[in-house]
Amino acid sequence: MKEHSLTLGEELRRQGISRRSFLKFCAGVASSMAIPATMVPAMAASLAQARRQSVIWMSYQECTACIESLTRAFSPTVENLIFNFISLDFQHALQAAAGDQAVEALRNAMDENWGKYLVLVDGSIPLKDDGIYSTSHGQTHLESLREVAEGAAAIVSIGTCAAYGGVGAARPNPTGAVGVEDIITDKPILNVPGCPPIPEVMTGVLTSFLAFGELPAVDRLKRPSAFFSDTIHDRCYRRPFYDQGKFAKSFDDEGARKGWCLFEVGCKGPITHNACATMKFNQGVSWPIQSGHGCLGCSEPNFWDKDSFYKPLSAGQWGSAEGIAIAAAAGVALGAASAVMSRKNQDKISGGK
């Protein structure tokens, strides 16, 4: 696992992986990231010369679904990813070591690869009360992130919690949770949001970093554009039903059984950027909308607090009806006052006649 001296090509040959398989893998990644086919040979050559990348995965205020999702990646497989492509030097859910030994492994990896290692983060980071609400090995995650980030070449925030705070930052946000980019501002950061993120997006980003030595192009929310440029709605297989005006009114009506659009039952697909509709989950088996549930918008910031998941997107966020009642009462009062003034004016003009 610590064999950093071999190039990736040498390592793959040592393990008996053919060039054909390697090129197929490169073509698959290039395709998923919208890299032109003409770039595949160059990408393969660059990848073959790459040294094994030291990767440190820090898990903070999280639920482990992100790593669960990653271990279900199918192309490349997680085995390929971990054992052939990268040196995953620290990941507390997957590694055998625990306690002091695990922390020692982390320190060693940081020392040996200072300034070169890639940091992957899942989970939000509490800021309130100096971050005491989430700690590991006697260190707050706020301190831990700052320490690990200092020697990182780049940081990839895996999942919506690490990217934007996610569920940890949902109102009332008792721990003052935030995403990585709210704390670390002097390192290249890429967000792979989702609850959980699509595994192929995570592996695609890592592969791209290995091949080109830098993070891929990102959108305004620092998400890789190749995967997040389209909305769910743009690519949804139920989109024709939206255009035809055919909507499921509930989750068990005739429209739902016929697979009609889920807009009316709260689907957030039109405002959610992600690749679920094309890449799906569990080796391309399905994704939430295919399973009959509307998109929750989990790859967007603050998706927990954007009103009900089951309220149509075009419905307003009313707050309370008190404001409308106050407006009506104030309007009546103003109207009455205006009329009184007008009547006085009338009397003045007519002399009371």
Site string for other proteins, 61-80 (x = CB under 8 A): --------------------
Using an 8 Å Cβ cutoff, are 193 and 160 in contact? yes
Residues 265-294 that bind other proteins (CB under 8 A): 270-271
Residue 117, number of CB atoms within 10 A of its CB: 21
* Piece of 37-45, 132-140, 190-198, 314-322 that binds other proteins (CB under 8 A): 314-322
Interface with other proteins includes 260 (CB under 8 A)? no
Residues 226-255 that bind other proteins (CB under 8 A): 231, 233-234, 242-245, 247, 249
* Beta strands at 189-192 and 152-158: parallel, antiparallel or unpaired: parallel
* Piece of 58-66, 93-101, 202-210, 336-344 that binds other proteins (CB under 8 A): 336-344
How far CA 125 is from CA of 112, 118, 121, 183, 256, in Å, comes to: 26, 18, 10, 9, 39
Interface with other proteins includes 301 (CB under 8 A)? yes
Site string for other proteins, 187-226 (x = CB under 8 A): ----------------------------------------
Nearest to 143 by CA among 161, 158, 157, 125: 125
Give min distance, CB of 309 to other proteins, in A.
14
Using an 8 Å Cβ cutoff, are 231 and 272 in contact? yes
Interface with other proteins includes 116 (CB under 8 A)? no
Q: Is the dihedral of CA 315, 194, 31, 238 positive or negative?
A: negative
Q: Is the dihedral of CA 50, 52, 58, 62 positive or negative?
A: positive
3-state DSSP call for residue 15? Answer: coil
The length of the chain in residues reads 353
Figure out which of the listed residues 16, 138, 316, 352 binds other proteins, where binding follows CB under 8 A. 316
Interface with other proteins includes 323 (CB under 8 A)? yes
Max distance between CA atoms of the chain, in angstroms, equals: 110
Interface with other proteins includes 332 (CB under 8 A)? yes
What is the residue-wise DSSP string for 265-286? GT--GGG-B-SHHHH-BTTTTB
Whose Cβ is closer to other proteins: residue 138's or residue 318's?
318
* Piece of 90-98, 180-188, 288-296, 306-314 that binds other proteins (CB under 8 A): 306-314
Nearest to 153 by CA among 209, 201, 204: 209
Figure out which of the listed residues 5, 111, 185, 318 binds other proteins, where binding follows CB under 8 A. 318
Residue 197, number of CB atoms within 10 A of its CB: 31
Interface with other proteins includes 331 (CB under 8 A)? yes
Cα 287 from Cα 292, distance rounded (Å) = 9
Whose Cβ is closer to other proteins: residue 242's or residue 281's?
242
The residues binding other proteins (CB under 8 A) are 231, 233-234, 242-245, 247, 249, 263-264, 270-271, 301-302, 306-307, 311-319, 323-324, 326-328, 330-332, 334-336, 338-340, 342-343, 346
